[in-house]
Amino acid sequence: MKIPGNLVNVLTARAFLSFSYGFLNIILSIYLHSLGYPLLEIGLILGSAILISAILTFLLSLLADHYGRKFLLVILFILFAASSALFLYTRNVVVLAILSGLGGFTGSGGGPIGSGGPFGSVQTALITEVSERKNFSRILSYASIIGMLAASAGSFTLEGLEIWRVGVYQLFYLAALLGLVGAIISMFLKDNGIRSKHLLPRISWKNIIKLSIPTIPNGVGIGFVAPIFSLWFKLKFGISTGEIGVIYGISNLFVILTMFILPRLVKPESELTAIISTRIVSAFALLAMAISPFLWSTALLYVLRSGMQMGAVPLRQSFSMGIVHESERATTSGTSSMVRTGVSSVSPPISTPLLSMNIDYPPLIGGLLTFLDPLLYYVLFRKNFEGARKNA
């Protein structure tokens, strides 16, 4: 079976991006803390960066569907490279927030697999261009697995650098270089000419709205913990950046396993059932982290949460791409990503001061809020859910 050239290029560029996110999303909050910023100010930087990334996601996904996905993807990689290269040269709070937002390394916004933010919107749409509907979840899982492997390598790199006594913050420069490589690779993509006739969606707008609603409580809840998870581990257990990288790397490997298994067990008509089930387990795991007293148990819960939350991403992408028109797929992904990351921007300025009050408040509040996500999926797509049960 011949693999389409566009798919090879997208996945290769994603691997370089994901490798960078594998270490950037760990060291970001720790780097800001090392500069001496108080926790509230770190939260404001991360929250502002997430909001910038959300707005960029929405605007560029609209432009990608209307003017061409290849062109916008190249621009995104250039923005990522420039932001990474300049990040260590400033101590200005506003500039740090802008660079973090434009680069998508917000602690969580870009996602460790390069599937979040504006990159994810455009890449997902490009991948489905060369795939049949019945193969969406499997192809998207392969894409995510490649990203997770690269992200794991990026996370484990931190431990290696600590062993060799190399400054981990210099990795921002490596990310800049890899961003330029991603831009060059993306220039060789073939433009398939798929365009939306209108800048704003007119065919699938109802489903786009429905898909975005569950991301609101999920975004706020995850925003309480995801951007500061590395800092949370460091403050609660006193472990090093390299040790945190090992936890992240192991969790990424578990996500890979989940992504490999789920698409082979779940048929398209049962995707929604799987999405709801995995989100419930993820919320329970996050809530349990708040009351877990030991590093080993907390790390295991983090691994479980990551596997259930991120492992089902290809299923959610497949489900959403399957119920909207092909010319509006980047917009669909971009809109839901914008809503999720946009609302999550309000959380870090609240959660970071909470760390000084009680270290376990962020995962406790975040876990409670994320329970609303699977509930809304069931309410909004009840017909799909009931249809899946009948076909089971």
Specify the pLDDT at position 109. Answer: 44
Which pTM value belongs to this model?
0.80
Long-range CB contacts for residues 247-250, cutoff 8 Å, separation at least 24: 247/299, 247/302, 247/303, 248/22, 248/26, 248/112, 248/152, 248/155, 249/22, 249/152, 249/153, 249/155, 249/156, 249/159, 250/299, 250/303
SS3 90: coil
pLDDT 10s digits, 83-134: 999 999 999 999 999 999 999 888 764 444 444 567 878 888 888 887 777 7
Q: What is the DSSP string of 94-125?
A: HHHHHHHHHHT-SSSTT-TTS-SHHHHHHHHH
Specify the pLDDT at position 2. Answer: 57
Specify the pLDDT at position 57. Answer: 82
Q: Which is nearest to 252 in space by CA: 100, 101, 136, 111?
A: 111
Domains, the chain, ordered by start: 5-391 (1.20.1250.20)
- Do 96 and 32 touch, CB atoms closer than 8 A? yes
Q: Which is nearest to 55 in space by CA: 349, 339, 348, 346?
A: 339
Q: Using 50 as the pLDDT threshold, list the residues of the chain that sit under it.
A: 1, 109-115
pLDDT 10s digits, 187-204: 999 887 778 877 777 788
